Amino acid sequence: MLWETLSVVRDLPRLHEIASVMIRYGWGDLVRLLGIGGALERAGRVLHWQSTSEIAQLDAPVRIRRALEELGPTFVKLGQVLATRVDLFPPQWIVEFEKMHNQVPAVPWETLRPELVRALKGDPETLFAMFDPVPVAAASIAQVHRATLHDGTPVVVKVRRPGIESVIHADLRILDHAARLLESEVPDSRRYDPVRIVSQFRRSLNRELDLAKEARNIDQFRRHFDDDPLVKVPRVYWAYTSAHVNVQEEIVGLAGASPEKLRASGLDPKLLAARGAETVLRMVLEHGHFHADPHPGNVLFLPDNRIGMIDFGMVGMLTQVRRHQIVDLLHALIRKDEQELLQVLLDWSGDSVSDEDRLAYDVTELLQSYDDLQLKDVKIGALLNDVTALMRENDLLLPADLTLLFKTLITLEGLGQQLDPEFHMIDRVTPFVEDIIKQRYTPQALVARGGKTLREALEVVAGLPRDLARVLRDMRRGRVKVDLDLKRLDHFGQQLDRASNRLTMGILTASLVVGSSIIMTVEGGPQLFGLSLFGLVGFLIAFFNSLWIILSIWRSGKH
């Protein structure tokens, strides 16, 4: 509790900045709801509760996007993560989140150089034959410089922005508090699971902060494509790489080029679109480890119609079970199989389906809307958007590991159509799915699955007497427990827990004040400013405890 109080006090300036921006963009009601505005005003930080008439006329998605951009790197990244949650937000919100740009002013060289020297454990001018202090790219977390190794190899040096870690951690603490308050005070928000979104966001951001993690991702992708001369993944130079900096081979190619420019360079846009799609589909369906941001700037087109991939800060991972489910989903969509599609959605949703009959009807209606279309005319992006809209209308959440995948497939289809207007993603997906389905039913696969099932069944049968004996023994000793999930009492329990915490802290604070007062009257012992040191420490702890109690009461709106 004391640590929470100190965190709130430490983050007050940032809280004021966040609240001011949100109010200016017309989100004052949300600030009031979370209790941030009231707490800041009582702390002496006056807020102006009006937005400009120009901003007030903007649509809500535009206002939230502009507010997130103004709040800086953490919130820009949050917007990019929300852009993947097509199951939570309608299309107009996703369109705005997708506009969140990651380009920010570069850190001046004189500011960045000490950070780079610490990370490299030496001067960049000495460690490299050439180091360009002018960055080639600058993003919210890191910026990139060109360099040359002493053997003449051109490389890129990606270095983390100084001080970015403390800013991000402060913002994450604030977001975590806000998400918990939102779930507690606004029951309707629980269907969006804000605490889970912030937790997912924290993991994603911590991975991006660790540049060595990105380097390990690159190495893994290199291993996966060692046997494919048509795919180029940069090499990592581990002698220079750490959490704060990574050095990797520079890949030179065309990025985001028009079909005309590609043809003028001797490349075939249609072939590149097909190879790009097949590369990402291999990552998803075969490796279960995929590049989660294949936008035009991260996909390079190389001589001989090869594909180069860069920037592996955002990657997705799929378990074997999840890959099977994805194949089943795509197979159901391709074959327009209602029962198979319904089963996949039920597997993803678990116990959260409130009306299975309605879900089954919506699935049937969805597939019937594609009855008149030939397979080549079906757009996989539109189809996945329809699936996520169906889940949204039925209050179902898409599993977190699939949000990146859906977004990746939609982005990939858009990139393919930029290169080739006649590109059909479903034509590339179908052979992969059909091959994987066939492999499931080969004699070897059936024998392997049968053997695994038999082993699991034998283990259950063999362990049954032991488990039954344990249950009977626990029943005799009165150790059998029955768990009741009474969801309606959750909020009451949380309120009771907070009230008891405040009462306990109040008693402890009063005891500290009384005890410290007694100590002050006793002569001897260590002193500070002529007063008993132990007494002063007691009063200081009592002060912070009191501050925590006051802030928690203000935050709950009870005075």
Name the strand (E) or helix (H) holding 367: helix 356-368
pLDDT for position 336: 83
CATH of the domain at 151: 3.30.200.20
**One domain for residues 63 and 147:** no
511 in any annotated domain: yes
Q: How many domains is the chain partitioned into structurally?
A: 4
**One domain for residues 19 and 72:** yes
Q: How far apart are CA 44 and CA 298, in angstroms?
A: 47
Structure tokens at 190: 């629980």
Q: How far apart are CA 378 and CA 83, in angstroms?
A: 23
30 in any annotated domain: yes
Domain containing residue 548: 491-556
**One domain for residues 132 and 221:** yes
pLDDT for position 352: 66
Positions of the chain with pLDDT lower than 50, given as ranges: 1-7, 43, 558-559
pLDDT for position 223: 92
418 in any annotated domain: no
3-state secondary structure of 301: strand
pLDDT for position 425: 83
Q: Give whole-number Cα distances, 139 to 127, 161, 367, in Å.
A: 24, 9, 42
203 in any annotated domain: yes
Q: How far apart are CA 142 and CA 333, in angstroms?
A: 40
**One domain for residues 117 and 13:** no
pLDDT for position 484: 58
Which of 217, 232, 250 terminates a domain? The answer is 250
**One domain for residues 155 and 200:** yes
Per residue in 234-272, pLDDT tens?
A: 999 999 999 999 999 999 888 877 888 889 999 999 999
212 in any annotated domain: yes
Per residue in 310-333, pLDDT tens?
A: 888 788 888 888 888 888 888 888
What is the total residue count of the chain?
A: 559
Task: Count Cβ atoms within 10 A of the Cβ of residue 240 and give its class: 0-12 exposed, 13-18 middle, 19 or more buried.
Answer: buried
- Residues annotated as catalytic (active site), given as ranges: 293
**One domain for residues 60 and 170:** yes
108 in any annotated domain: yes
**One domain for residues 14 and 142:** no
**One domain for residues 107 and 46:** no
Statement: the pTM of the whole predicted model exceeds 0.85: no
Task: Count Cβ atoms within 10 A of the Cβ of residue 302 and give its class: 0-12 exposed, 13-18 middle, 19 or more buried.
Answer: middle
pLDDT for position 520: 65
Cβ(103)–Cβ(138) below 8 Å: yes
**One domain for residues 19 and 127:** no
pLDDT for position 351: 64
Question: Which residues on adjacent β-strands are paired with residue 156?
Answer: 146, 248
**One domain for residues 117 and 222:** yes
Amino acid identity of residue 348, one-letter, is W
pLDDT for position 379: 80
**One domain for residues 21 and 120:** no
- Rounded to the nearest 10 degrees, what angle do helices 73-82 and 60-71 cross at? 140
**One domain for residues 76 and 146:** no
pLDDT for position 134: 92
112 in any annotated domain: yes
303 in any annotated domain: no
